[in-house]
Chains A and B, each alone.
Chain A
Amino acid sequence: MKIKGLIIIVVVICGCNQTLVGAGLQSGILRVGAGKVSITPPQQMFPTGVEYRDFIGVHDSIFVRSIVIDNGFTRAALVSMELVNGPDKEEFYETLSKELKIKPENLFISATHSHNTLSVHQYPGKNADVYYDLVKKATIRSLKEAAGNLRPARIGYATGKAYVNVNRDQQIGAGWHMGYNPDGPSDKTVTVVTFTTLSGDPIAVYANYPCHAVVMYRAKTRDGHQELSGDLPGATSRYIESRFKGIVAVYADGAAGDQNPVFMANYNQDAPDVCDEGAAGFAILDVLSRRLGEEMVRLIRSAKNTSSSATIWGKKTIVTCPGRQRKYPADPDLPVGGYMAPSVIEMVDGEPVSIPLHLLMINDIAFAGVAGDFFTEIGMNIKKHSRFDRTLVVTKMPKVEVVPNNAGYIPTDKAYLMPSEKAIYNPLKPGCAEQSVIEAYNNMMNEYLNLKSNRNQK
């Protein structure tokens, strides 16, 4: 009994000491928990009746997955939602923040961008509200499940490569469209941030890869209709989760604005010889996700230099760039996805465009998030110019209604010269975004380094 009491006193003193020393930014003993809750829409919401997303039912369930990390001073969460995009209401994120007592800047949320799901607001009529509630409750539950499972943990990091993505800016007919450009720019980097128990058993993994989740997009897999699916991110998470007992695999998309899977069930979707492989396309999804999952599993097992203490810090900012709008052709539906799309679009000055950025630091691991879709070379350049070797770029963070004119695709300046289908009528003017976001991330990283440095000096 006396010995136990002594240990408790020592631990308390140790904790107080850390608090006193780390006035701005404290390092503390890492605890981690993870949760996973289904956000599969109920049967009565089918068929969904949206073009290219007229789902007749569920092929594979979709989830919200969460990792809560806590160092005794700061609590943060990494969340991934298997949706095209996360909810756009600020209220959604405020509620999460309040319910979990996690500051908004420490709530790092992204969508997997699976095109075989619908965003909450895309459901017609009352279903939008029904699904909003379902997703909100599931996300809160997932986070609470994670927070309820907090246990001493170690964090690790590893990168590798997977060859299941490909540049998609192909010249088809009169313009550049979504196709197959195997010699084009493509970041093959797979990044995993691992969270294990002190004895090395995986608790959770945060896995990142730049690829559009469109393997099954437009494929008619049942009775001439499409089915709801978590697509590549969902299948990859399932693969990882089947390889480790109790692990939650949170998949986050990288800079995939110009990256498609190397094969899709709806082959050559924008070319004249499109071919729908139908339900057999799920075999294509399976082999692609296995290959990506295998690399993630290998990396999880390879992570060696792990740490049981952590400094956690998050910050949000917004970069604003000059904008533009289309003058000709006036019809906003042109160019449509198709090989006959006009290759000349006339753009004039428009409203400035906001690019919301989010940086979450865990020790020297930088999670560089953006509410938008970077082209792959921007992601590569963010990593190249980052203050931290261990930087991962996460896209499809929430676009909330309160941010004016939020960016969508963020092309490289080179892509404007083609012009890429996603650059030709982009509301962002070329010449600003890439340089500005790199500078903004580095400013936030400098701030973090200063705060850490102050702590260390004290």
Chain B
Amino acid sequence: MVRMNIWSMNRYAYVLPALILVCIFVVYPIIYNTVLSLQDKDLLKPESGRYVGLETFRELFKDKITWVALRQTALWIVGASSMGLLLALGIGIFLSLDFPVNKVLRGVIVLPWILPPLIVATGWRWMLQPEMGIINDFLRRLHLVTGYPAWLSTKERALATLMFVMAWRLCPFLSLMIMATLRGVPTQLYESASIDGAGGFQQFRFISLPFLRFPLIVGALLTAIWTINEGFTIIYITTRGGPGESTEIMSTVLYKLNFLYFKTSKAAAMSLLNLLILFGLSISYLVFFRKYWLRGVEG
């Protein structure tokens, strides 16, 4: 009995260092941020910092930019994740095939994923430059565009272009996940289906896709989380939220509120909203993952 107690205490001792770190670097900042959001802290007003309840949130929701940012954040998450998934699906299927070149491509494909987001954003900013960028040069050589389209200077194109950049960054991880899943599908299934007269599309629809359900859903949730986390760097470096406010998302607005406007409490309130979205997505991911894992364990 005593030995059991020591054993169970040991178990807790092993997780204690991690728990302490999580408390210091995750729990404490969240609590501090919540306290800040309930105050009226404005760095330009030294007398500020009083408790005001939910007043800061009320003010935040009165601002037009909050609603613009919320709407565009939703668009950003859905758009960038969907583009990333579609790109990854195509690349993943291609990489799962037995072409000799794929052995090299499977290594090269991770490049966008391992590059720091700052480098990705700066690189794309130059590549998308209308006159000197490689993108327009390439498109002009293929006679796909005339003149010098400005990808980041028009309200209609900027957000979609940046979604593509984000998708480009995210798709390697998903592609490899999809490729690994497809290569794990028993070949006998395809052979049997082929004997039964199933065509390529039917084989994909009824054999590959059911196997891909898990990586696709997990991938969608993970990319949604990553688009929020990395969206700031991609957008801030390339457009700073412009043209006008057309690429402002919650993280760019909360950055401005804190570092340009010095409205600390408002920024804290905005970051809590951001956190809530991330929390919702993370919980969905965990619930789904657990359900799927339990199903696997139970056979």
The yes or no verdict on A and B being binding partners is: no
Q: Which residues of A contact B (CB under 8 A)?
A: none
Query: What residues make up the interface of B, taking CB atoms closer than 8 Å to A?
Result: none
